[in-house]
Amino acid sequence: MNSVHFTSGAGEPTVVITRVAQTQWHAVAADRVVGRGDVSRRPDGRAFLSIDSWHDAVFDQLADAMLAELPTPLYTVVDEADLDLTCSWERAGFTTRRREWEYLVPADPQVTGLDAALPPPGVTIVAAGEAKEGPLRALDTAIRAEVEETVGWQEMPAEVLPRTDGDTLLDPSKYAVAAQSDRYVGLVRVVQVTRQPRIGLIAVRADQHRRGIARALLAHALGALYRDGIETASTEVNESNAAALALFEGIGARRASSNLELVLR
């Protein structure tokens, strides 16, 4: 692999940046690795960068070497509270594309007020693991098409972005659904991440909005967690998704942190 030499300040060793693999770069000074850079492709094909280094100068050198070899657009995600890392990417030319708020969501229905959140007439909730895969995949496809026609799937959390084959339904057992007559009209996905479950997706067909289905799905999912002894879940919401923000803030969820997705075009 090709290497790039960067001259440091007086008395400092020269930093050598080498692309050691198709997706990895190393920064070496005085025979020690002083920084690493990686690029990975999300399921939708977008390339996301990460750089780990102790010094700003090494970060900048890695960024320069990586950007010289990679086609744009390029993306990265940072904790908004990490001002140093955010500034480092901004020096490389990245700008903020969107912000996601991470919420901590109480599961106790007495706290959320969801103890009385019943599905509307004609709609029933099918518990996770009990939904039929065929209708569930049909619902997933329909919702994906509706989102693509509006905000676009690039605005969805990374974990629900479509893979190269277009599929977003990775594990049907994680989904509870709202059923009406012979079709499914809404879904909620809860995944276990370390010790805290995460509500990865909640969505309702466009023609079924404003009927309380999303609220009923959320009540079901959180109620199931609470019965299992879990008091809090987490979720991430794009700051531009006013409906989702209102839904979660309306049940007492609190903002814990925020992530920025940055882009270089």
Q: How far apart are CA 255 and CA 28, in angstroms?
A: 40
Domains of the chain with bracketed CATH: 3-99 (3.40.630.30), 101-258 (3.40.630.30)
pLDDT of residue 2: 66
Give the pLDDT band of residue 8 (cuts 50, 70, 90): low
pLDDT of residue 227: 94
Cis omega (within 30 of 0) on the bond before 73?
yes
pLDDT of residue 48: 96
Closest alpha carbon to 28 in 5, 1, 57: 5
What is the rounded average pLDDT of the residues 211-225?
96
In which region does residue 109 sit, left (phi positive, over 0), alpha (psi from -120 to 50) or beta (all else)? Answer: alpha
Determine which of 12-26, 47-61, 158-172 has the lowest per-residue pLDDT on average: 158-172
pLDDT of residue 147: 83
pLDDT of residue 194: 62
Closest alpha carbon to 131 in 66, 194, 188: 188
pLDDT for 172-195, tens place per residue?
A: 899 999 999 889 999 999 987 667
Kindly tell me if the per-residue pLDDT of 229 is higher than 80.
yes
Beta strands in 142-222 (DSSP E): 175-180, 183-193, 196-204
Give the pLDDT band of residue 87 (cuts 50, 70, 90): very high
Percent of the chain with pLDDT over 70: 87
Which residues are registered as beta bridge partners of 19? 25
